[in-house]
Structure 1
Amino acid sequence: MSALVILGWAITSAQVMLGLAMCCVTYRLVAGPRAQDRILGLDTLYVNAMLMLVTFGIRTGGTLYFEAALVIGLLGFVSTLALAKFLMRGEVIE
């Protein structure tokens, strides 16, 4: 087996596992009993989406996917911090 065949199988299996993880996290996001569970689900969902874009970028060789993953990671981190601060204090900006 060549390295490209092994890489193709690895990327395909990673994408399938990430898709399954995104389905499980979406269930937690919708059915979470508390707001903290929903925020944790949203945080995990954006990380999985970011990793899915990275695997698409590796598969296609396009750099646009990596830039989009970087933007998603940055926006997801900031939104998680804002939501956590809102849950703790009731306001985002003091």
Structure 2
Amino acid sequence: MSIVFSIAAAMLMIAAVLTMATALRGPSTLDRLVALDVLIALCMCGLGVWTAFSLDSTVVPSIVALALLSFVGSVSIARFRVRDDQK
């Protein structure tokens, strides 16, 4: 069963690297915002994989906290964003 967890962790790491490349390359702030939301979701998935692998449920509150921070951050950036074409 640890092979399944290793494959899941490797896939999450590959997705995180690709997401970071998108966040660094993104032409607009909204592209970067979406990439950072995906990166936080990947972190939450990684914590979920670790929780399933270690059978330790003490990590679950941190997953909930990450979800809350991601939501609040996304809403606040989308609300107070300055247009990219303005200088």
Q: Same fold (TM over 0.5)?
A: yes
Aligned residues: CA RMSD: 1.6
TM-score (norm 1): 0.80
Identity of aligned residues (%): 24
Q: Please state whether the residue corresponding to 1:29 is helix, strand or coil.
A: helix
CA distance in 1, matches of 2:65, 2:56: 16
Match of 1:36 in 2: 30
CA distance in 2, matches of 1:33, 1:60: 40
Match of 1:60 in 2: 54
Q: Please state whether the residue corresponding to 1:87 is helix, strand or coil.
A: coil
Which of 81, 86, 91 pairs up with 2:75?
A: 81
**Greater gyration radius:** 1
Structure of greater relative contact order (alpha carbons < 8 Å, 6+ residues apart): 2
CA distance in 2, matches of 1:13, 1:75: 28
Count of residue pairs the alignment pairs up: 83
Runs of 4+ aligned structure 1 residues displaced above 6 Å come to none
